[in-house]
Structure 1
Amino acid sequence: MKAFLGACCIVLLLAGCSVPRAIREGGPMPGQRVDPVGKVLILGVKDGQEQGQSPAQGSGQELVDSLRKVLAEHSVPLSTTPAQALPAGFDEAVSGGWNYVLKGEITHWEDNATAWSGKGDKLFISVELYDAKTKQLVAAATEQRTATGFTFVSGTPDRFMDEVSVGALSKIYGWPIAK
């Protein structure tokens, strides 16, 4: 009987694990090359919003901070701006001597708050890198992150910010992703 109860507890613990699943796509546009040390100006990002819900306050800034962190870890010179629109970003980048403008967007935010629903939280982002002078799209990438399975603790999609930033920027810059 003790062995049976022990086995049941192990099965429940394993069933309570939430394993994230990632899908990433993108890279440089045909005929384009990304300079790995080109100076990047990161635009502000609008907060993510689940359909029918209020915006997830601060999630846009979290994405900016995460993109900044990943680029800094790879020694990419960078700065941020609160401007979210490309025209304002281009103007600021050119006047500041930046090579690129990086536009990030939270394309899907789904906070399945209940730990027992069986539905995983979802965070999808897109990242576009533009040449500041020509305003031409140089590279683009998306990263979709979904928690799968039941979990015993609730989380929010923002726990995936670093992973989605690493995934998307790795597609743009060609960096290997540590497993």
Structure 2
Amino acid sequence: MSLVILLCTACSHKYRVDSLSTPEKLIPVNSHYYVMMAADGHFGGTQYVGSGVMVTDAVSMVLQQHQGGVTKATSLETLEQALERANTQNIEYVFRPLIVHWEDRATEWSGRPDRITMRYTIFDAKTGKEIASTLESASSKWGTFGGDHPQDLAPQTVEDFINSVSG
């Protein structure tokens, strides 16, 4: 029996919300977001080229499923530039994804899980005020056969955050 429990535990990803700041009132479901491009993640001396684009795509995909509209940045920019772009396009919110930690491991033979830590922040595009943020960590399941990567963990972290701030 304990072997079955151990094996089942090894077959699921783990997600943890480390901090969460929610808005005073929930963000309407039909809102339009400008999604900033995330900078690539790194671990130790390894930079994971393309991880920023993968995270930006994951954020955009989840927001498109839950919200009114999404405009995605095509390059890295400052928050001020993103707020300006959002305002010129009459977009209500700016969503800034930040890869805090990105660790891609060969879990299938090392037994070490992939790990990510993401910081997501939503700003009111008109005022530039931060209205919601979260820091969420995730690790891959141990029982993988080479099919999991850090980018597979990102969509659920976005989903968790959006579900807690919109309604």
TM-score by length of 1: 0.78
- Equivalenced residue count is 162
Of Structure 1 and Structure 2, the greater strand share is in 2
**CA deviation string 1:134-175 (max 9, x = no partner):** 11001112221112435443632112122222122223326x
**Are the counterparts in 2 of residues 141 and 171 from structure 1 also a CA contact under 8 Å?**
no
**Equivalence for 1:125:** 118
Does 2:102 correspond to 1:75? no
Distance 2:9 2:15 in 1: 19
**CA deviation string 1:20-77 (max 9, x = no partner):** 1110241424x35423322211111111111211x21211111111111111111321
Equivalent residues in 2 for 1:143-162, closer than 5 Å: 143-153=136-146, 155-162=148-155
- What is the root-mean-square deviation in Å for CA atoms of aligned residues? 2.5
Of 56, 62, 68, which aligns to 1:64? 56
Give SS of 1:116's match: helix
Equivalent residues in 2 for 1:1-179, closer than 5 Å: 14=7, 17-24=10-17, 25-29=19-23, 31-53=24-46, 55-81=47-73, 82-153=75-146, 155-173=148-166
Instruction: Tell me which structure has the larger Cα radius of gyration.
Output: 1
Distance 1:16 1:74 in 2: 30
TM-score by length of 2: 0.84
Q: Structure 2 stretches of 5 or more lacking a match? A: none
Distance 2:36 2:115 in 1: 23
**CA deviation string 1:107-158 (max 9, x = no partner):** 1111122523222110111110001111100111222111243544363211
**Are the counterparts in 1 of residues 83 and 128 from structure 2 also a CA contact under 8 Å?**
yes
Identity %: 23
